[in-house]
Chains A and B, each alone.
Chain A
């Protein structure tokens, strides 16, 4: 046999030579193939190399120990670590007994090393696996290792494989993870809200925080087991909405409130917010969210809402205008009444500030008031101011402003309550005007009384003097002038008294159409030829109670005014008609009663007046004419007469177009009274007249006139004297001719006293001035006779005769 082998070997060697080593195998005729020695070795070598490469590529430190603990082989990682200079490992390379390396007392981590040695021995002795973790201090820092010892496979000599893995980083990661997990747990477990995470596809509940148990009253496990069981607790009224909301928001998220019924029956309000969780492809695959118990908030806001409702109702429906503004004046809230007062819509106001709609003249006051309030000087400010209505008109309001502050005292906003006082103010203005007129009237009346006495003397004496002169006497002209001038002065005082309503007027029922007709001639003379006069009388015109003289005065004054407005000619139109003034209209004007009226309109197409002039037109002494060209009493007189007759006057005018005055007088259906017959008979007489007048000159004039006419005169300069005379006089006293206004006792009182003494005596008063004794509201009582001052001798004579003749 050895020879055969030798031959075979030789043959093999030869073959290798021949083929230059390029042949691997040789086959025999029987189909068996034999690997040549070199090929075998090469193969084996390659295999071993491959295995070594694998081992060396592993990061774990791996060493093969023989049964004695000697390091037979080790991979690169083991060898590298052994040579890193880790003091204790220094000698742990190949050829070193690892058990000795781990020997107790040899290293700092001796207990761990001891364990390792024991473990190795155990595996060597037949154990299957030993594993341990230990910390090794190295120059590069503390490292944590996991060491495993496993026995070698059976067919090679027994030994162990020691594998050591650096798990420092792993452990660190684990620690971080655990810390993160702890944080999450703490968050979720401690929160009173319920956190949840649910899979969308499987509806599996992936996580629910422990708060679920407290709030829902069910266990978290029950929810994990039955993911939809949370919905069992939903209040039946909210069930459908809630499920719908969840379904709809699966992929987009949801925000929903609903009630749950707890096992103990209690009802809680829940607020859930859900958020989709997206996978790497951006598709929602889970849903997470928070559920909070908002029962308390709901209850509080319920109360809040109620009180808010009540406030809103109050605010909205208040009868006064109310508004809230910011500190710089912007409207933030207004009620309907306020909108109505200023004429803007709610939206329009919310886009404005109060300064925008305040009258320019009131801005300064607003600013001042605001400042005072801001400074805390006052809490509430009340004042009257003007807004400009949307339509441009002025609205007077009574404004009360309070400042609302924060709890800290910071000013927050302003609250205002607004009352429309436009109507009230208008009435106030009219009242003021009326009072002013009254005052002027008092003045005028006082002056007029004395003035009238003087005029009586002047006019009367002139007339007497004229009567004594020859027709051709040169003195006639002078005296005539004096008389005429006195007449004009008398007319003036009459106007003065008329406008101031101190005049005693004698009213009669008159047909206005007739009255205007009677004045036509006079009017035509006054207005001249350039102006056309048109009269449009109404048919069936009602009557009025007026003093005919005053009525004419009114028409005349208006005509004169119209004439002066139509310097280049034009048309003067007088129109009459029946009208009714209703309660609404009457209520807006002082002293006007609703009812049937007669309207007389006097209009022209002249220069017209602007608004400013119109406002002052009835003021006494107000005139648009130059100095000396007008007394300014014309329209004031008209106004006075109309008012005195319980009437009403309005003016409408437009510059460049014309003016119309409308006079309203109370209508009466009584029949017109005829003018008392003019005196044609001679005024002489022989009766006895008791003359009472405290003004000496007037008295002497009257006496002279009457004595000349044949009357017997008894004179007294006071009521007391008159009574004495009346008592002592023997014989009849036919007439008492007395002034009304006298010191101590008035003429009226005298008449009364005399009436009881001498009931047959007729009474004739002299006056140009109202006095309560004989008049009521300046209107003569029926049956009272009045001789107006200043009177002319002729008028005196005529009147005396008339009264004496009356039965």
Chain B
């Protein structure tokens, strides 16, 4: 697994719902801290784009999908447990 490859995320949220907004905040913080300059986040509001959510087989919000690099992963929740999330994403904690 190459260290320098860009991580592409898609985060499905439910408008301004509490958990959703928290998930957005947590993801953004995590990317800034551990993937500076090599991350892309797309936020999809299921209220706005319900068919897309359906097409992507999303049943709960907030849901984070790691599109790249492979393998693809899904995580549901606020993403508050940073270590757990990173482990799930296959990220090593490297000293900055």
Chain B 28-62 per-residue mask, 1 if CB under 8 angstroms from chain A, else 0:
00000000000000000011001101100011111
* CB nearest to A15 among chain B residues: B60
Flag if B54 contacts A27 (CB, 8 Å).
yes
Q: Chain B nearest CB: distance from A218 CB in Å?
A: 68
Flag if A26 contacts B17 (CB, 8 Å).
no
Flag if A39 contacts B60 (CB, 8 Å).
no
Q: Which residues of A contact B47 (CB under 8 A)?
A: 33
Q: Which residues of A contact B60 (CB under 8 A)?
A: 19, 23-27
Q: Chain A nearest CB: distance from B56 CB in Å?
A: 10
Q: Please measure, in the bound complex, the distance between the C-alpha atom of A499 and the C-alpha atom of B58, giving whole angstroms.
A: 159
Flag if B18 contacts A31 (CB, 8 Å).
no
Flag if B59 contacts A24 (CB, 8 Å).
no
Q: Which residues of B contact A32 (CB under 8 A)?
A: 50
Flag if A27 contacts B59 (CB, 8 Å).
yes
Flag if A31 contacts B17 (CB, 8 Å).
no
Q: Please measure, in the bound complex, the distance between the C-alpha atom of A22 and the C-alpha atom of B18, giving whole angstroms.
A: 9
Q: Please measure, in the bound complex, the distance between the C-alpha atom of A43 and the C-alpha atom of B53, giving whole angstroms.
A: 21
Assuming A35-B14, A39-B14, A43-B16, is B61 touching A23 (CB within 8 A)?
A: yes
Q: Please measure, in the bound complex, the distance between the C-alpha atom of A228 and the C-alpha atom of B62, giving whole angstroms.
A: 73
Flag if A33 contacts B14 (CB, 8 Å).
yes
Flag if B76 contacts A25 (CB, 8 Å).
no
* CB nearest to B22 among chain A residues: A22
Q: Please measure, in the bound complex, the distance between the C-alpha atom of A26 and the C-alpha atom of B50, giving whole angstroms.
A: 12
Q: Contact check: which of B17, B58, B77, B80 meets A39 at CB < 8 Å?
A: B17
Assuming A22-B77, A35-B14, is B19 touching A27 (CB within 8 A)?
A: no
Q: Please measure, in the bound complex, the distance between the C-alpha atom of A263 and the C-alpha atom of B35, giving whole angstroms.
A: 86
Q: Which residues of B contact A19 (CB under 8 A)?
A: 60, 76-77
Flag if B59 contacts A39 (CB, 8 Å).
no
Assuming A25-B46, A27-B54, A33-B47, is B18 touching A43 (CB within 8 A)?
A: yes
Assuming A22-B76, A42-B18, is B61 touching A31 (CB within 8 A)?
A: no
Chain A 1-35 per-residue mask, 1 if CB under 8 angstroms from chain B, else 0:
00000000000000000011111111101111101
Q: Among A26, A29, A32, A33, which residue has the most Cβ atoms of chain B within 10 A?
A: A33
Flag if A20 contacts B17 (CB, 8 Å).
no
Chain B 48-92 per-residue mask, 1 if CB under 8 angstroms from chain A, else 0:
001101100011111000000000000011101000000000000
Q: Please measure, in the bound complex, the distance between the C-alpha atom of A21 and the C-alpha atom of B76, giving whole angstroms.
A: 11
How many interface residues does A have (CB within 8 Å)? 19
Assuming A19-B77, A20-B77, A33-B47, is B16 touching A26 (CB within 8 A)?
A: no
* CB nearest to B18 among chain A residues: A42
Q: Chain B nearest CB: distance from A179 CB in Å?
A: 52
Flag if A27 contacts B53 (CB, 8 Å).
yes
Q: Contact check: which of B17, B46, B62 meets A27 at CB < 8 Å?
A: B46
Assuming A31-B50, A39-B18, A43-B17, is B77 touching A25 (CB within 8 A)?
A: no
Q: Please measure, in the bound complex, the distance between the C-alpha atom of A20 and the C-alpha atom of B13, giving whole angstroms.
A: 17
Considering the complex, which residues of chain A in the window 537-584 have a beta carbon less than 8 Å from any beta carbon of chain B? none
Q: Among A19, A20, A24, A27, which residue has the most Cβ atoms of chain B within 10 A?
A: A24
User: Does A383 lie at the interface of the complex (its beta carbon under 8 Å from any beta carbon of B)?
Assistant: no
Assuming A39-B17, A46-B18, is B51 touching A24 (CB within 8 A)?
A: no
Q: Which residues of A contact B50 (CB under 8 A)?
A: 27, 31-33
Q: Contact check: which of B19, B54, B80 meets A31 at CB < 8 Å?
A: B54
* CB nearest to B77 among chain A residues: A22
Flag if A24 contacts B76 (CB, 8 Å).
no
Q: Which residues of B contact A42 (CB under 8 A)?
A: 17-18
Q: Please measure, in the bound complex, the distance between the C-alpha atom of A46 and the C-alpha atom of B19, giving whole angstroms.
A: 13
Flag if A31 contacts B53 (CB, 8 Å).
yes
Q: Please measure, in the bound complex, the distance between the C-alpha atom of A31 and the C-alpha atom of B53, giving whole angstroms.
A: 7
Q: Please measure, in the bound complex, the distance between the C-alpha atom of A33 and the C-alpha atom of B20, giving whole angstroms.
A: 14
Q: Chain A nearest CB: distance from B29 CB in Å?
A: 16
Q: Which residues of A contact B62 (CB under 8 A)?
A: 22-24
Q: Chain A nearest CB: distance from B52 CB in Å?
A: 9
Q: Contact check: which of B17, B53, B76, B77 meets A35 at CB < 8 Å?
A: B17
Q: Which residues of B contact A23 (CB under 8 A)?
A: 19, 60-62, 76-77
Q: Among A19, A25, A31, A42, which residue has the most Cβ atoms of chain B within 10 A?
A: A25
Q: Chain A nearest CB: distance from B60 CB in Å?
A: 5
Q: Chain B nearest CB: distance from A434 CB in Å?
A: 128
Q: Which residues of B contact A46 (CB under 8 A)?
A: 16, 18
Q: Please measure, in the bound complex, the distance between the C-alpha atom of A20 and the C-alpha atom of B59, giving whole angstroms.
A: 16
Q: Contact check: which of A22, A25, A30, A31 meets B14 at CB < 8 Å?
A: A25
Q: Chain B nearest CB: distance from A523 CB in Å?
A: 137
* CB nearest to A41 among chain B residues: B18
Q: Chain A nearest CB: distance from B77 CB in Å?
A: 4
Q: Which residues of A contact B76 (CB under 8 A)?
A: 19, 22-23
Q: Please measure, in the bound complex, the distance between the C-alpha atom of A23 and the C-alpha atom of B47, giving whole angstroms.
A: 15
Flag if B19 contacts A22 (CB, 8 Å).
yes
Q: Please measure, in the bound complex, the distance between the C-alpha atom of A229 and the C-alpha atom of B53, giving whole angstroms.
A: 74
Q: Chain B nearest CB: distance from A549 CB in Å?
A: 144
Flag if A33 contacts B53 (CB, 8 Å).
yes
Q: Please measure, in the bound complex, the distance between the C-alpha atom of A30 and the C-alpha atom of B53, giving whole angstroms.
A: 11
Query: What 3 pairs across the A-B complex have the smallest Cβ distances?
Result: A24-B17, A31-B54, A22-B77
A–B pairs, 8, beta carbons within 8 Å = A19-B76, A22-B62, A23-B61, A24-B13, A27-B60, A31-B53, A33-B47, A39-B14
Contacts from A to B (Cβ < 8 Å): 19-27, 29-33, 35, 39, 42-43, 46
A sample of 11 more A-B contacts (CB under 8 A), given A22-B80, A23-B60, is A19-B77, A20-B77, A23-B76, A24-B19, A25-B17, A25-B60, A27-B46, A27-B59, A29-B54, A43-B15, A43-B17
